[in-house]
Amino acid sequence: MAITVVKHDIQKYILSYLTYHRVARFKELIPPKTPTNLFSYHLKLLQKNDMVRWIDDGYTLTTLGLAYVDRLNDDGEYAYLQPKMMAMFVIQNSDGGILLQRRHKQPYIDTWTLPNGKLSVDDESLYSAATSEIHRTLNIYTANLRHAGDCYIRVTESDAPITLTFAHIFSFDSDDVELTDELTWVHSRQLHKVELAPAVEQIVARTFFRDPFFFEEFIHDFQPKD
């Protein structure tokens, strides 16, 4: 999939805004103190390069746009196509609830996913990375953390890749999670009623087999909402 690397600040601003909003109006995308005609020119370039499209309610990211913003680093610079390495957590409480975390950015904004965190070259080990991430994001320590398995998750739309993720799946039980607007418990039997990020329901089901260790590949055909 060929992607044009975005270098102009106005185009970067548009993509950044749409990273945190599913849909945005014309006036919401204009950077401060930017002439309308100049902004329109760069918005049309993003549309021409198939990164942004118009739908009934405003502008949104295309498949290509979703793939692009997923590969931006913390400095807003583009990193080329390669799988992300993640630690992902299947956490269950005593009532049978699965902990879900709301995604606040694209791709898959406003869907619910499993708590997760990127792995870093600075991590001393996979287990230490997982325990540190749980403490950082949920402020809890756990003694029963289990490396349940690994998953390769490929999400496409019309065969075009959006995200590629290699996830180390960890599981444990806990009733000590402090819920927020971004965290909720959903019973495993009710997961199909929630708007989930790709492969979440499959990962939970596979983890529940309680094998000593598993490896699965999930290919998900993503259908963005207009």
- Condensed to tens digits (0 to 9), the pLDDT of residues 154-186 reads 999 888 889 999 999 999 999 989 899 999 999
- Closest by alpha carbon to 97, among 174, 169, 198? 174
Pinpoint the residues of the chain covered by CATH 1.10.10.10.
9-70
The CATH code for residues 84-221 is 3.90.79.10
**Is the CB of residue 164 less than 8 Å from the CB of residue 83?**
yes
pLDDT in tens, 184-225: 999 999 999 999 999 999 999 999 999 999 999 999 888 766
Q: What pLDDT does 73 receive?
A: 74
Q: Where in the chain is the domain with CATH 3.90.79.10?
A: 84-221
**H helices within the chain, ranges in order?**
9-19, 26-29, 36-48, 63-70, 126-138, 200-207
The predicted model scores a pTM of 0.89
Determine the CATH number of domain 9-70: 1.10.10.10
